[in-house]
Amino acid sequence: MTDVHVSLPPARAAGPDGLALGIDISEPMLQRAVRNEAGPQVGFIRADAQRLPLRDDTVDAVVSTAVLQLVPNPTAALAEMARVLRPGGRLAVMVPTAGPLARFWQQLPNVGAHAFGEDEIGDILEEQGFASVRVKNLGSIQWVRGTNG
């Protein structure tokens, strides 16, 4: 299996004086990240996405890839991302979507993950004051980006 180095682009964007910070609630996932992604501009902390241990308005950008579907309260996690983002900070989120099967997916008992409706994440971000919200659907996944208002 080839490991995907997800921290490289954010570390490069952070530059020599910046820091790309990976956050996960799972200790095994953090251990894997440290083993595969460590670098001079990369750090990792164990935390809940719904209660980020960061000060308000301190982060330039947030990238959340395949996380929100596993969080009990995705709206709370998005609110936390907004809280730590500085004004004008950028957010990019990738989530699975139910697409045309959204109604079917919503009827299933709790399967431990959430598939989002086509406008769900974009609507939440706009309600939280994000500007320039853009949604791009790619089959069963969706990228949503916006700028903290």
Q: What CATH number does residue 28 fall under?
A: 3.40.50.150
pLDDT reading at 95 higher than 60: yes
Q: Provide the pLDDT for residue 40.
A: 78
53-57, 94-98, 107-111: which has the highest mean pLDDT? Answer: 53-57
- Number of domains into which the chain is organized: 1
Kindly report the pTM of this predicted structure: 0.81
Sign of the four-CA dihedral 39, 43, 46, 49: negative
The token pair at 88 is 């004008």
Upper half-sphere CA count for residue 92 (Cβ side, 13 Å) = 7
Q: Provide the pLDDT for residue 110.
A: 59
Q: Give kind and range of the element (H or E) at residue 105.
A: helix 102-107
CA 35/CA 25 separation, integer angstroms: 16
Q: What is the domain range of residue 117?
A: 5-148
Tens-place pLDDT, residues 31-70: 888 888 777 778 888 999 999 999 999 999 998 988 898 8
